[in-house]
Amino acid sequence: MSNNKTVYIVDDDVAIRDSLSAFLSSVGLTVKTFDTAEAFLNNYINDDVGCLVLDVRMSPMSGLELQQTLLSRKNMIPIIFLTAHGDLSMAVRAMREGAFDFFEKPFDEQRLLDRINQALRLSQSRQQEVYIKQSIQEKLKQLTAREREIVDRIITGQANKVIALELGLSERTVELHRARSYEKLGAKSLAELVRMLLAVE
């Protein structure tokens, strides 16, 4: 997982891109700017940690359309909208679709910066979740078919004895499979095992 956090600025106004990029860089953030929604889509990699600062009114693809496109790709990058219009209905729509925040130009830079930092933390924790999920899935792949079968029964609360009976194995064999599964998954308790499997469900 990359530790790079990037603020993506998408705005068709060059002065907005230039000034925001100067300001955010001056506080130590990594910034990438794009003049159209299309240019952003062509350069953005789906699971980068970051936050999108997006102008509402652009053409041909508007900020709201870009939001829809990202949603349809199941992309969860937090979006902070900027508008020079003060159009409330647009703000409502953007927020309903899950925007992180909405600012009217001109805005309070400190407040924007605070929200950008919060958005970056959100993106990072989401990325963390994705990472954890992936690593659990990797571990699950190491289980044999028999081990997986037993794990699935353990988490529904079946006792070793019952599992042994139903699968036609000895209780000892079930215990061995169980121990090896815990070891492969790195789980220390039943509770932890359940949590792992729920996370990837």
Q: What angle do CA 30, 31, 34 make, to 5 degrees?
A: 155
Residue (105 or 126) nearer to other proteins, CB: 105
Residue (35 or 149) nearer to other proteins, CB: 35
CB atoms within 10 A of CB 42: 9
Containing 24, the helix (H) or strand (E) segment is helix 14-26
Q: How many residues bind other proteins (CB under 8 A)?
A: 21
Site for other proteins, residues 53 to 112, rule: CB under 8 A: 57, 82, 84-86, 104-107, 109-110
Residue (110 or 156) nearer to other proteins, CB: 110
Instruction: Tell me the C-alpha distance between 185 and 173, whole Å.
Output: 18
Instruction: Tell me the C-alpha distance between 18 and 41, whole Å.
Output: 20
Minimum CB separation of residue 68 from other proteins in Å reads: 17
Minimum CB separation of residue 116 from other proteins in Å reads: 13
Is 18 among the residues that bind other proteins (CB under 8 A)?
yes
Tell me which amino acid residue 30 is: T
Residue (42 or 89) nearer to other proteins, CB: 89
CA torsion sign, 81 to 84 to 88 to 89? Answer: negative
Residue (86 or 168) nearer to other proteins, CB: 86
Structure token digits, residue 93: 């729509």
Cα–Cα distances in angstroms (integers) from residue 186 to residues 64, 131, 178, in the given order: 44, 16, 12
Among 3, 4, 26, 42, binds other proteins (CB under 8 A): 26
Minimum CB separation of residue 120 from other proteins in Å reads: 18
Angle between helices 190-200 and 145-155 (to 10 degrees): 100
Binding site for other proteins (CB under 8 A): 13, 15-16, 18-20, 22-23, 26-27, 57, 82, 84-86, 104-107, 109-110
